[in-house]
Structure 1
Amino acid sequence: MQRKDEGDEAAERPGGLRLRKKLATRQRISDVATSLFAARGFDRVTVAEVAEAAGVSTMTVFNHFPRKEDLFLDRIPEGVEVVTSAVHDRAEDESPLAALRRVLLDLADRRHPLSAVGDRFPHFWQVVLDSPALRARTREGLAEAEDALAAALAHDRGTRPDDPRTRLFAALVVAAYRCVYTGTAARLMAGESADDVVEDHRRRLNDAFDALARALEA
């Protein structure tokens, strides 16, 4: 008889099944919302309409997404997790800056949505650009990533998250990546393909982290 691995057993436990159902519901709501927002514009779709189309109650929508904007910008928590995990899970001989560079380059290689490198992303960005609420939430998401990165660095260094050098490190990393990301996004929205821009994206990301390394070591 073939032996089940621990992942299979965990998935069959009641708690594992509930989690999978919860994640599936969350993904369905997000997918439905994204389709509606893309078709009609973010500001023209209500949460009640999203709930009806997804076959859930409005309360269920808000249980998964505290704010309407998070239905569309549902990867903000993932972005926060990416930068904090880069610091916490790196090898002992790898610096935080090197770990962040490695992780962000890997996102580009995988054409991950958080990398900006992908042919299907320009329509998504246009929805964001057309909505003041989504633009504001995007700025908040960047601030959340900066705060989380500062906290991760402080924990790693044994300092306080509001330590000036720690805050500067986090702010510079987020600003550098935002600059690279928006540059790539602008080229894709102008009609270039992901294959056209990926090498330049990697070059600019490496240039940005080289500059950060020089500035932070000074």
Structure 2
Amino acid sequence: MGEGLRERKKRQTRQRISETAIGLFVARGFDHVTIAEVAAAAEVSVNTLYNYYESKEDLVLPPDEASPQRLADMVRARQPGQSAARAVLAGLRDELRRRDRKIGLSAGFAPVFEMMRAAPTLTARLEDLGRQMTDALAAVLAEETGARPGDQTPRVVASQIGWFHSLVYSEIGRRIVAGEKPTTIAKGVLDLLDVVEQMLGERALNYATRED
């Protein structure tokens, strides 16, 4: 069934609020714009805005896009014969080739990145999000491999996956600041992932391989 009128209007309102907020944050700085100002510029009430976004930080990092389950979801969806690490490597490569907005390669992202980097609450949110992703992944790995209580292997493997996932974002950010174009950034980070895969130990690289 296609999208209904009500759902379409809600989606359009959510998008208008988000785009308005990002525009104001980029122009004036995240810390210098209030929720009330975003609501007024988007022509909605403050209560309506909060119906779509629970916090000011959510306007930049919405939970449906910046999810603590991101890595766990990649691993849950892996194909038969594919390990946890290889699933995440494949997912990142696919996003890079598609210039997915989740990894910051969409057109015009550079000023948004600079705005985020200048806002302590957003950088803290990103750091906490990284920890939550690793924790969620470790729990999935422990469950799927039947790890015994006290077995630290799932956490160690999850930490290694979390590390190269964070490395990808750090490298993208570094290259954005350097003024590189999205196509150049994607190629460079794809090359980086090749090195990561070569350097990972066999045990970590093949851990939690899904049976055929």
Instruction: Establish whether TM, by shorter chain, passes 0.5.
Output: yes
Q: What is the percentage of aligned positions where both structures have the same residue?
A: 34
- 2:33 is matched by which residue type in structure 1? V
Q: How many residues align?
A: 206
Aligned-partner residue type, residue 159 of structure 2: A
2:91 to 103, 107, 112: 103
Please state if 1:62 is matched with 2:50.
yes
Choose the corresponding residue for 2:77, options 70, 89, 109. 89
Over 3 Å counting, the alpha-carbon distance change for 1:120 and 1:23 in structure 2 is same
RMSD, aligned α-carbons: 2.6
Q: Write out per-residue CA displacement over residues 65-90 of structure 1, whole angstroms, 9 at most, x where no aligned residue.
A: 22211111226644545423221122
| Counterpart residue identity of residue 114, structure 2 | Q
Q: Alignment partner of 1:91: what SS?
A: coil
- One-letter amino acid of the structure 2 residue matched with residue 53 of structure 1: A
2:210 alignment counterpart: none
For residue 74 of structure 1, give the secondary structure of its aligned residue in structure 2: coil
Q: Does 1:129 align with 2:117?
A: yes
SS of the residue corresponding to residue 200 of structure 2 reads helix
TM value normalised by structure 2: 0.83
Q: Distance in 1 between matches of 2:7 and 2:184?
A: 40
Cα distance in 1 between the residues matched to 2:149 and 2:124: 24
TM-score by length of 1: 0.81
| Matching residue's letter, 1:204 | L
Instruction: Say whether 1:211 aligns with 2:199.
Output: yes
| Runs of 5+ consecutive residues of structure 2 not aligned to the other structure | 208-212
Q: Does 1:190 align with 2:178?
A: yes
How far the C-alpha of 1:159 sits from its partner, in A, is 4.1
More helix by share: 1
Q: Which has the higher contact order (CA 8 A, sep 6+)?
A: 2
In the alignment, the residues of structure 2 paired with residue 139 and residue 22 of structure 1 have an alpha-carbon distance, to the nearest angstrom, of: 30
